[in-house]
Structure 1
Amino acid sequence: MSYKANMHALDLIMNPILHNVNEGVLITDTFQNVIFMNESAEKIFNIDSSSILGKHVDLLKPSLNFYEMISKRELYLQEKEFIKGNEVIIRKGLLEVNPNSFVCYAIFRVIDSFEDDQLNSLLQSPYEGIAVFDDHARFLWANEVCYKYFKCKSKEDLKDNLNSLIPHSTLRSSINEARPLFGRTISNSGRALDLVYLPIIRSNRTIGVIVKSTFSAFNPPYDSPREPNNGSARYSLEDIAGSNKDIIKQKKLAIKAARTTSTVLITGESGTGKEVFAHSIHNLSSRRKGPFIKVNCAAVPETLLESELFGYAEGAFTGARKEGKPGRFEQADNGTIFLDEIADMSMAMQGKLLRVLQERELERVGGVHSTRINVRVIAATNKNLNRLVKEQKFREDLYYRLNVVLLNLPPLRERKEDITVLSRVLLLRLNEQLGTNIKTINQDVLSCFQTHEWPGNIRELENVLERAVNFCEHDTITMEHLPEAMQASASKPAVPSAPTSLERHLQEREREAILQALENSAGNKSQAAKYLKIHRSALYRKMHKYNINY
């Protein structure tokens, strides 16, 4: 067939093609060589048109069988085929441009295309977040509710949020089992979400899954009363105020930790909020209806800690109850036990705790029978366990058993941008507890707070504010209500260091910064160097210079 004839054939059908750009279109000449392929067809076949133009159409798989249509003079045919994992409707036709000379064309439409108006209107529910995943659990599409909820503008940002929210294993189960599933997860704001997984089935094959989400109407963790009862957790993530990037990161980790039953280790200086995080994880978890039991390992005498944790049997020792007594682990069954100050536990006691964590069973002191337990363990410490392990003051095997999910809370001096909002939140809480009505905090006081180092962290801030509330006779906290030492420090003019002491002062500060970075990174030199924004080799030189062995 001549070039002019080809162009003529192409002209005959270009107009309808231009009006069907959302569907894949392919055209051949009379020798069944491909002379046109639009972008939609390229996507369906996952090829570039330049690789097929001028070549025989049968190189495409599956075959379009134009030769058979021509031999039977079938001018139009519609069928369904799977192309690259998608079920596609194919409308094929013949155009007779000369006697016994046919141009062939095919129009492809993916059945599960989300451009379909009816399906799109169904999925754009204003009340439910709806996301669609393919048969490999890869994110494809989400409705406007999802974008608004996560405050995302791009598909990539939304993909990251959904991947962290929706359990991949449940997606795979719904796809593999080809049946609807139901579940619950926790949003990044800490609210419970009910999820429904609806597999998309075409020709007895699962080609994807639709996930619908709504806020849970059943026992949301923050709607329960705050009055503490026996073994209850009182705090939630809403009690953790602030926008510091490090604290936000730890809150997100807490949400992820709450979705599992793995052991959690919370580290940080005294007063940084480790117990509040422990309460929050329990209240977010599936165990929130169960008990939350707290044990301060440093506050219980070593001789009593074993019976406190594991209980004792009848007649175990003089003065013991006749019927024996369950320990804190038994009391926490089907719930959570929070072991605070875990680093203060003796090596012997650590070995007994390790056995309980590994075997999920315990023996009461003086008892002969084992009791199975189902307890989630959250441990906390203000000490560097990594260093204690190296110093052989903490069991390495227990350390790794505890350190499954690690939360490392930043000190208040590294959260200076949060001090104002924390002060106001604490003031509201103190007003409620003390029956006072202090409305504001003077700006001079807030400025003073910004310059203070806060060695006691949030606990110290709360203590300072409680003192101020007790001394305040009006509705505003001013400088006169602060401790004298803090007032003196704020009013003391900055005195330049003597030239002879400047170098020593800088070296001391540098050494402190290196020690803090090593502690925050649990001794990982690469992470510590990244935190300090210096090369690792420079970190080693400075550690040698300041005689730091870590």
Structure 2
Amino acid sequence: MIYTEIIEYINSMLSNNTLKQNKEFEIIKESFTFYSINSDNINGTLLLLDDFYAIRGVKGIIKSKINLIGKTLNLPFKEKIKSSEVIKYIDSNFCVYFLKEKGYKCEEINYGLCYIIDKTSQKNEMLLENIALKISKTIEILQRYNEENNFLLKYLDSIDEGISTCDTNGNMTYVNKACCEILGIKKEDVANRKKKISPEYRPILNKILNEKKSIIDVEYFPKRNNNTIHLINSSYPVFDDKKKVLGTIDIFRGIKRTTKLANTLVGQNLSYNFENIIGESIILKEKIGLAKSFALSDANIYIEGESGTGKELFAQSIHNYSNRKSEPFIAINCANFPLELVDSELFGYEEGAFTGAKKGGKIGKFELANGGTLFLDEIGEMQLHIQAKLLRVLETKTLSRIGGNKPIKVDVKIIAATNRNLYELVKKGEFREDLYYRLKVLFLEIPPLRERGEDVILLTQYFIKKIGGGMGKNIKGVDKEGEALLLKYNWPGNIRELENIIARALFICNKDIITKEDLIKSGVRIEDIGENIKNNLEEINKEILIDTLRQTKGNKKRTAEILGVSRPTIYRMIKKCGVKL
């Protein structure tokens, strides 16, 4: 058959028409594409037609450069066409075979196969039926695959982390629902290959293409509606069978969710509320009422109180009572870190900022607390140059990491606490006056235990129940003389000291009630102590040592912890007192 003759014949039956798009037909078109003409020795032209007899696919001797797609084929026997029946039509030098079929699970979608060949060829009715059967099988397979694929895509859309894929040229090929919400893009744009990766992602893609390795948990700052958003992103290369990179798949989330996770991992268990503050004294009730009113404001709070009065308990309660309670609460003790590390702990650092800097850099406490509350304990121990940086963050609500120049916006409520008199430090030049007033917008002074009267007894009962239950001891309480002693004691270490003394008394006590003597042995110091007791202090210490060693079954480390001394001191006391283990 001469090539030009069959072209002329097909052109004689064509008319221009607007191609009507039908998504349901795409799977039929795809199945036709998969069909191989070599398997059936086709030497004519095979056309795929839709319901409107528009040409949707071409195979055979017609080359792809011939523009037939979208044009309507005017068949002279349209009125005779029935489903699943081959119609044969002979015209001049050509024989036309046509078969109409229904799509798999798409009864309303029909397609037609038109086979054109010279009339001298053998009968091709069976050939066309075999081709239709093969295409139908492919349609069935693809339909099932699409159903399974759609099922998987629904799963991916239910995940609240953004998921996206792209090819090596930076064309986005898939996005889930969360990705669209986070980045502000449309699935339709991605499906139509109209969406490119953001410029901020290009360095990540290039690195993966060059190194063929995953990049896990890196910060990523794409634009959304001209605003920069802060994400944590993990990128994974996708390989073909020959280990060639086809593209990447990315999983990312907003920084707030990451900081909440970090908040959990670093042990900030926000279990304290105002209901957990034990006491009925008037002065305590006044402070709780004041703290509750402060919690309703976003202004900074300065808490002052002696060591052991429960400043962090108040700080957590304020956070949990505020409108930020669902956001992170991050605490940092400024006295617990070496002076040179407080800077990096608060503000974070970029990779390579200094020798020993962590790869990928580190998020500081300010960023971890973004949207929530940052508790700065022992603020009086902060160096002056760190105070200056802190003041700038409070004034501008932005920070820059060490070694970085990118300004990062933060929304943080500050609760600062100290057991020192900050104003005295200001007068000595050890604390910035401007920062002092910036922090002391709202002021809360926690009363010492000695000013809380009968709260000492309530706290004692609480600690007996809390600690005694864990020890398996059934101690009913403290006798009257013991309670009188507790009420008279000055409590320089406040609630923390009371808890330690009750813990020791529970070890020492061998009855069902703690006595005055048990408390004295446990460390309650009496200013006007009798001469006889002074002369027997060594014997009392020996007795305490023996009782504690008996309770701990000779564990010297635990004994030292209970008595509040070092292990070497325990060894010296054992030797001095002649205690035999």
| TM-score with structure 2 setting the length | 0.44
